[in-house]
């Protein structure tokens, strides 16, 4: 009977850990600074249609995305004329495909709804990110 009790407890523990993992994965990343987390196509199109914008394509399970998020928040405070938008690639697959996102994080720079050529940043390269922001903020 002891072996049976141990097996039941092990199964319950594993089920609880799976539940915790799924719960953590489904929660959005914490926004930092003036970063706008978007999960609607219409709102996304409205936000990027005019002015300079940085799109941060991320995933909740992506370690580098979580690591760079506070720095992106700081940059959003520093460059207040630029709109900073976070897009979860798992929730907005169509937008991610439209921009050809294949790695996270990917930062895309837009001016008046058009992507600025040769200014895309793949990975958590904060220096390259700031250079791109400077290019669109003028």
DSSP for 54-115 reads: EEEEE-TT-HHHHHHHHHHHHHHHH-TTSEEEEEETTT-HHHHHHTT--SSSEEEEEETTEE
Q: Which of 38, 59, 65, 89 is catalytic?
A: 65
| Confidence band for 102, pLDDT divided at 50, 70 and 90 | very high
Q: Which of 62, 87, 124, 133 is catalytic?
A: 62
The candidate with the shortest Cα–Cα distance to 31, out of 60, 9, 53, is: 60
CA distance 31 to 45: 20
Q: Is the pLDDT of residue 76 over 70?
A: yes
Per-residue pLDDT at 4: 81
Residue 22 falls in the annotated catalytic set: no
Q: What is the mean pLDDT of residues 33-50?
A: 90
> What is the pTM for the complete model shown?
0.77
Residue 114 falls in the annotated catalytic set: no
What stretch of H or E contains 44? helix 41-48
| Confidence band for 6, pLDDT divided at 50, 70 and 90 | confident
Per-residue pLDDT at 12: 79
- Give the CA-trace dihedral at 54, 76, 80, 127, to 10 degrees: -70
Q: Is the pLDDT of residue 83 over 60?
A: yes
Burial of 10 (0-12, 13-18, 19+ CB in 10 A): exposed
Domains by residue range for the chain, with CATH: 28-137 (3.40.30.10)
Q: Is the pLDDT of residue 22 over 80?
A: no
Q: Is the pLDDT of residue 15 over 90?
A: no
């Amino acid at each position: 009977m002891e072996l049976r009790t141990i097996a039941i407890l092990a199964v319950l523990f594993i089920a609880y850990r799976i539940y915790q993992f799924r719960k953590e994965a489904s929660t959005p990343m914490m926004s930092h600074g003036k970063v706008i987390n978007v999960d609607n196509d219409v709102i996304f199109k409205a936000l990027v249609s005019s002015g300079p914008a940085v799109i941060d394509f991320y995933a909740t399970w992506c370690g580098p995305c979580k690591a760079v998020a506070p720095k992106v928040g700081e940059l959003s405070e520093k460059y207040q004329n630029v709109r900073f938008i976070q897009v979860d690639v798992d929730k907005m697959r169509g937008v991610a495909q439209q921009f050809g996102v294949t790695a996270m994080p990917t930062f895309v720079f837009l001016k008046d709804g058009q992507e600025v050529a040769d200014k895309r940043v793949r990975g958590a390269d904060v220096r390259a990110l700031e250079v791109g922001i400077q290019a669109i903020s003028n």
